[in-house]
Amino acid sequence: MPTVYVLNGPNLNLLGQRQPEIYGSTTLADVERACTDLGRELGLEIRFFQSNHEGVIVDTIHEARHEANAIIINPGALTHTSVAILDALNTFDAPVIEVHISNIHKRESFRHHSYVSLRAEGVIAGLGTHGYLLALRHLAPLVGADQPRP
């Protein structure tokens, strides 16, 4: 069964509590459950990660090089600052989809630039936590998942 790593950056552990007017009331545990359920339906194994530490995210991307068929990444604020995450993603030879819960292009100007976008095959922004599920649906046929499952 193909494996998709779903990586989440700083402060996403506070999803549902932090700035609900921007990010909504869905928690990261809710997102993980939804991704795991949809992954099962699509024939994907989901490995879900969150860290507030850039180096841990880089290490997880390095691990994914040997374990994953695709990555979905919401790097949070590291989107706009981390060349290290970009460099790590550039070593990953499979699809990468960048996800943002909010529309980063409607926010502060410093959020308009993404280093991760330089590597990602696609970017989903502004569709709330549903963006994670859209990314999974897009990736399933690309990684050879046996879909759909009852």
Positions marked catalytic: 23, 100
Give the C-alpha separation, 133 to 19, whole Å.
Answer: 22
Give the C-alpha separation, 72 to 53, whole Å.
Answer: 17
Is 30 annotated as contributing to ligand binding? no
Give the C-alpha separation, 118 to 22, whole Å.
Answer: 25
Give the C-alpha separation, 114 to 75, whole Å.
Answer: 10
Is 57 annotated as contributing to ligand binding? no
Is 65 annotated as contributing to ligand binding? no
End-to-end Cα distance, the chain: 16
For residue 93, how far is the Cα from the chain centroid? Answer: 16
Is 137 annotated as contributing to ligand binding? no
Which segments of 24-129 does DSSP mark as H helices, in order?
28-42, 54-67, 83-89
Is 102 annotated as contributing to ligand binding? yes
Is 80 annotated as contributing to ligand binding? yes
Which residues are documented as binding site for substrate?
A: 74, 80, 87, 101-102, 111
Enumerate the known binding-site residues.
74, 80, 87, 101-102, 111
